[in-house]
Structure formats: structure tokens, C-alpha cells
Amino acid sequence: MTLRPRRKPSCALTFMAGLAVSGWAEAAAEDPAPAAEQAAQLPGVVVEGVAPTRPYTRADSDVAGFGEQPIIEIPRSIQVLGRDLIDDQSVLSVSDLLENNVAGSTNSLARSTPFSSATLQLRGQNTAVFRDGLRDIDFGDIDNSALVNVDRVEVLKGPGGLVYGSGAPGGTVNIVTKRPAKAFEARIAATLGNRDTRIASADVSAPLGHGFGIRLTGEIERSDNFVDFAEIDRQNFSGALAWEQGAFSALLRYENLSSRDDNTMSRFGLPTFGTITGRDLLRIDRSTYLGEPAFDNQHAFGNIVYGEAAYAITPDLSVKLQGRRTAVNFEQSEVRTFGVVDPATFDVARTRARRLDLNEAQYNGRALVNWTFDTGPVGHQLTAGIEYFSFELAIDNRNIPNNRVPPIDVLAPVYLADSLEPFLGAAVPSRTTDRSREAFIADILSIGPLSLNTVLRYSNTKFDDGNKLNELLYEVGASYKLTERLAVFAGASTGFEANSTIAAERNLTGERFDPEFFRQVELGVKTDLLAGLTGTASIFELVRDDILVADPSDPDFLTQGGEETTRGVEIDLNWQPLPTVLVRGGYAYLDAAISKDTDPARDGQRRPGTPQDSLNGFASYRFATGALEGLRLGGGFRYLGAAFASVTNTLQRPAYTVANLNASYELRGYRLDVFVNNLFDEEYFVPRSDLQVTAGEPRLYGARLSYRF
């Protein structure tokens, strides 16, 4: 429900009214009878004013630990992107939300492309995606647009190994889903736009009595894609049942996602010649599809069963259990383009035609004990826990001989009339199982304005060939509050990547490899509504070590001789200069380079896909009084500087800027949102390698009508 005050009160009026009321109360305490007589003679006083616009900020987060902690006291760079920001910006995917609002965030794939979360980057490195604090491998890739069940997205920059175990060096994106509300609430919405965009969603939450509550969400999209023959056909549903009785609470949730495209597998894009280079000789339209519509397809399905239970033994001592099973299936048929465009015929070779059937199952379990206590002047928030993770992957891969797939003209594609299915070879199976067992202990110490975070985590990962990895990680950090609204912080953190790929590879002498390691040091300053300003500014150094690179003794083998270093400055700010005005923005300077390689020529080369400079901004104004009350206007942009396509640093993507506009109007439970994404229809291409790019989303405009009751 929208807050609709009749008129905005001034601070002076509020203060004077408070003095009058307090003075009257004091007089009443001294002489009740005269005060009662005065009250009967006093006219009614109405204090009016403008309700402040939602600030797009959050005071607390648990993304950097195992419980809620004031963000200003966390010695890490984090951002929390809430539901109000998702709605006001009319974003259609997690990737768009991050790129529009998180400095240094990049992604080479569009929202309609499978495995798009696998290409998310923060601080010039890959990013791990988690869901409700537990590892999420591939589930989000089924539907990168599934936002109806998302309450907020929390971003932890840099290694998160202490909280999340094996992960990625760039950071952690934790998607927090909605829970049943205490009171009844419901919302239905329908979105229409160009490219025949059609989206319908519903979100209903209701108390059931006796401490029970339920929440049901659903979203369906049937839209055309900007790529020829491609479509967006997706749906997601979820149901959550919660129970709370005194000190005990429990939650059970089921989620189901699916997406399909019967004619394309649009992950692999277009040649670099004719898109980024050679545009004076050849211009490939970004809608061009160079696969085989009679053969290609992508069908993705997944479901989650999640449960948790928590019990407060005392106000200072509690336990929490979490468990989840995730099942994912991808069925894909694809014909890839590969090679250089022939300048005489405009043909490009096509290779690796195949059909892939992938099935995976993930099992997560976590047990936590939280204890808050004091030792003299030192306060402690102690957490101890154990965690279990199992990842089972089965792949059946069927290939088509390369000579069965002819080249294709990139300007006037001619597709095969018949499917390539008869030429599929026998299935080549691959099976992998990883299991991790971890134990950790964390302590947040508070001494006046000083907060100290210390974490230790032991991890044991076992692979299906019997090999094991045993690692001990640490994190230390400190935050000092100069005032209640201003703090400085410093920290050092570590992480590692233990996966089946690293375990399966062997070096020249047949020995298995150790995991990759990450380490980061960071210094910064945070504000919390200091003159209306909330945000973080930091400098950091992030090192990714033990990267697998070619063995100089034999290029058919690998060795752990690579290292990448990112040094940077990042600023993420929210500013509310007036109750009706919100401004947010971010800037990142990233010096991401190869600092060690077995090939000396690569030392000092820029890391691929990482722009040196990136900038984003967003502003929103809400009319709080008058005839336009309920109207909100907003707009934003993101700028990404030039970036190289690969470690060779021979091909560079030009810089580009994407601008967006949005507006909303609310009246008696109804809300109308209109949006234009990529306002100026900027044409840009994001390299995947020196030979391939994916096209950025063209202009998309639409309107969403919703009703909340």
C-alpha cells in the first residue's frame, strides 16, 4: 500500500509540535485537572508532510557472515540491492540488476542466454552465485529473469571462501528469496512490450493461523528474442510454508524453473570480423543466427526443495539447520561457428555440432550455532558450524562430424532443410561426483567503536577418483566507527577453487593439481546516511594464484604456473539530498593483468573481458503532493570502457554506454510502470574470444500494470 499523506510537514513544525506536546504533558503531570481543562479547549493539531522516498539501502546484511550485522561495521565491500530498486528500475534479470548498480560488474551474455551467471564478473574475476546462503551451481542459469520470488540480491566483493567455502575470486552474489509475510499481501502484474514481450506474474502471501504462513509466486514469459528464430519461453513457480512458535521457526520451500527455445542455442554468437572489426568491409546484423534452426534447441529444467529450522535456546544462544536438494537438466543441440570470415565469400566455418544431455544433483547441508556473550569490555558474536556439499554431474555428449556441417554466409544465411540428427554419433558419457565437508568458526569482537572479524574454515573435498583436497582458510578484518555514521575498515581474506576440472587434470608427471588460491587486501571508508549519503569507497589488491596454464615442456599438458593480479579503486554510493530525490552511482578503476605465466610474452597483459574504467548512475524523483502525487520519474546509465577479448590482447571491444528510462504511477493499489532499456539503441558486442562475440540487447520498451491488495 502506498503511503499518501495529505501534505508534507516541515522539520520545524514537527519540532515545535513536539515541544508543545511535551510541555503540555509536563503541565498535566503537575496539575491533572487544569491540564484536562486546557486539553478540552485546545483545537485539533494535524501534522502533515511528505513521506520520504524509499532509500534503496539496507542497514544490515548477513552476506559477509553467518548472521545479521550492521553493514557499516563489516570490514568488506558489500552491496544489497533490494526489491524496491528491482521494481523501480524495471530490471528483467539478475545480470541487468548487477551491471546497472554494481561498480566493476560485467557479463558477456544476455538474459535470454543459458549459463549466463557463469560469465558474471566482479573486480575483473569470475563470480560465484549462491541462493539463500547455499551454493547454487547452474540453477539460476535456467532462468536469469526469474525475479518474482527474489527479495534482494546481496553482493560480497572479493574472495568469500570463509563464509561460502570453495568459490570464485571476484566475489559472491547471494540471491535471497521471499518468505511468507506476517500479514496478508498479494500482487499480480502483467508486462507488455516490443519484440512481442509478454510477462505475467503473481505473488500471494497469507497467514494460516497457529503460527503458520504461506507464500506462492509464479511468473510466465512468452516473448520473442532479438536473435532470429530465438524466443523466450520460460516459467517459474515457488511455494513456501513457514511456521513460527515462540523460540522455534521453520521453513519449507519448493521452486521449479524451466525455459526452452526450440530453434536456437544462442550462447555462441557471431564472428568478431563484421561486428567489432572490419565494419568498413562487412557489417553483420546483431540479429543474425548462424546455427541450424532445424537442429538447434535448448531446454532447461530445474527444481529445489529447501528446508530450514531455527531454535533460540536463550536470547543469546541459538541453533540453525539448513538443507537443500537441487536437480537440474539441460538438453541442448547446437552448431557453433568457429574461425575467420572469408572476405571473398563472407562464409564462416561451423564446427562442434553436438547434442548434449546434462543432469546434475546438488545436496547442501549446514548446521550453525550462534552465541552472543561478553568477556569484560569485549562483546562477542561467535558462530561455529559444519557444512556438507555434494555435486553429482552426468553428461551424455553426441557429436556430429565437422564435415557434415557446411560453412554459412554471415550476410545471407542459408540453413539446411533437414535436421542433422541422423549424423549424430554414439553418446560419450561423463560422470563426476564432488563432495565437500567443512567446519568453520567465526567471531565478531566489539570493543566500543571497534569491530574485529576473525574467521577460520577447514575444507575437505573428495572427488570420485578418490583424490582429496584439504585446505585451511582465514579472514581478518577491522572496522572503526569514527562517528555513528562514518567508519573506516581494513581486511585480508582468502579463498580457493576446488572443482572436478582441476582434480581431473594431471601434469606432465601424472600428478594431480592443487586448487587455485585467492587472496585479497582491502582498505576503505563507509557511510550510513551521513548527510543523506550511504556507501563504500575502497582500494584493494586481489591475487588469483596457481592458475592452470600450458606446460612449456609439452603444450599438451598443463602446469600451475599462472597468476593474475587486480588492483583497483571502487566507489558505490546512495544519496538522498531531498526526501523525494534519490541518486545512486558507482565507479570502478580496475588494473587487472597477468602477473605470472609460463609464456613470458603474456606477463603484464590485460585480463580479458575487464574494462579499466566502468561507471553507473541512477536518479529517481517522486512527486509527493499536488496533481502529480504518486508519479515517479527515473533514469540511469552504465558505461563500460574498452576491454580485450583474450589474453593475447590483440582484439579490443570498444567502450559503450547504455542508457535507461523508467517511470511509475501509483494510485489506490494500482501501479503502472513504463520503461525503455537501451534508450538510444546502442549497438555493442561483447567478445567471448578473439573469434567470437555475443550481441548486446537492443532497445526494449514496455509497460507493466500491477495491483497490490
Q: Which residues, at least 6 apart from 274, have a Cβ–Cβ distance to it below 8 Å?
A: 281, 282, 283, 284, 341, 410
Summarize pLDDT for 541-556 with one digit per residue, the tens. 999 988 888 888 887 7
Contact status, residue 610 vs residue 121, Cβ threshold 8 Å: yes
User: How many percent of the chain have pLDDT more than 70?
Assistant: 89
The reply to whether 185-708 shares the fold of 57-177 is no
Q: Which helix (H) or strand (E) holds 34?
A: helix 32-41
- 57-177 has CATH 2.60.120.580 classification: no
pLDDT tens-digit readout, 5-21: 333 333 333 333 333 33
Count CA within 13 A, CB hemisphere, residue 490.
1
Angle of CA points 258, 177, 304, to nearest 5°? 45
- Band (pLDDT 50/70/90 cuts) for residue 501 is low
474 close to 496: Cβ distance less than 8 angstroms:
no
Q: Residue 231 in contact with residue 254, Cβ under 8 Å? A: no
Q: How is the chain split among helix, strand and coil, in percent rounded to 5? A: 10, 55, 35
- E-strand ranges in 248-296 read 248-261, 270-271
Total-model pTM: 0.88
Contact 564, 535 (CB under 8 A): no
User: Cell numbers 510477462 label which residue?
Assistant: 199
DSSP assignment of 381-420 equals EEEEEEEEEEEEEEEEEEEE-GGGS--EESSS----SS-S
Helix axes 11-30, 32-41, angle to 10 degrees: 140
Per-residue CA distances from 165 to 339, 442, 459, 512 (Å): 39, 13, 7, 21
Tell me if 100 sits within 8 A of 635, measured CB to CB: no
Strands (DSSP E) contained in 16-170 are 60-61, 69-70, 78-82, 121-122, 125-131, 134-135, 150-157
H runs (alpha helix) in 78-182: 83-89, 94-101, 139-142, 161-164
Residue pointed to by grid coordinates 581431473: 504
pLDDT in tens, 652-688: 999 999 999 999 999 999 999 999 999 999 999 988 8
Residue 34 to residue 212: CA distance in whole angstroms: 50
- pLDDT score at 502: 54
- Phi and psi (nearest 5°) for 118? -70, -15
Amino acid 163 reads V
Query: Dihedral sign, CA of 140, 697, 682, 152?
Result: negative
The count of residues in the chain is: 709
Q: For residue 31, what pLDDT is reported?
A: 42
Please name which of 141, 399, 425 lies closest in space to residue 267, comparing C-alpha atoms.
141
Tell me which of 49-63, 129-143, 398-412, 526-540 is least confident: 49-63
Q: Which of 677, 590, 583, 679 is nearest to 622 (CA)?
A: 583
The answer to whether 24 and 35 have CB atoms below 8 angstroms apart is yes
- DSSP H or E run through 28: helix 11-30
Task: Show contacts of 698-702: CB within 8 Å, 24+ apart.
Answer: 698/226, 698/286, 699/194, 700/92, 700/193, 700/194, 700/195, 700/197, 700/676, 701/193, 701/194, 701/674, 701/675, 701/676, 701/677, 702/90, 702/191, 702/192, 702/193, 702/194, 702/197, 702/674, 702/675
CA angle 674, 657, 168 (to 5 degrees): 95
* First-to-final CA distance of the chain: 8
pLDDT one-digit tens code per residue, 232-287: 999 999 999 999 999 999 999 999 999 999 999 867 689 999 999 999 999 999 99
Q: Is the pLDDT of residue 644 over 80?
A: yes
> What gap in Å lies between CA 697 and CA 692, rounded to an integer?
16
Greater confidence (56 vs 216) lies with 216
225: its cell numbers = 528474442
- 635: helix, coil or strand? strand
CA distances from 548 to 434, 514, 562, 576, 594 (A): 20, 10, 6, 47, 13
Asked if residue 13 lies in contact with residue 46, where contact means CB atoms within 8 angstroms, the answer is: no
Mean pLDDT is lowest, of 42-56, 223-237, 431-445, for 42-56
Per the CB < 8 A criterion, the answer to whether 494 and 161 are in contact is yes
Higher-pLDDT residue of 120 and 484 is: 484
- Cell numbers linked to 650: 590483440
Strand partners, 480: 450, 488
Backbone angles phi, psi at 58, to 5 degrees: -140, 135
Identify which of 600, 521, 523, 535 has the alpha carbon closest to the alpha carbon of residue 566.
Answer: 521
Q: Which residue has the cell 594431480?
A: 512
Q: Which residue has the cell 562483546?
A: 379
With cell 615442456, the residue in question is: 553
Domain locations along the chain: 1-49, 57-177, 185-708
Task: Give the span between the Cα atoms of 357 and 304, in whole angstroms.
Answer: 20
Beta strand segments in 316-349, E: 317-337, 347-348
* 81-90, 283-292, 500-509, 517-526: the lowest-pLDDT one: 500-509
Amino acid sitting at position 668: R
Please tell me the predicted confidence (pLDDT) of residue 21.
33
Tell me what the mean pLDDT of segment 149-175 comes to.
85
Instruction: Name the architecture of domain 185-708.
Output: Beta Barrel (2.40)
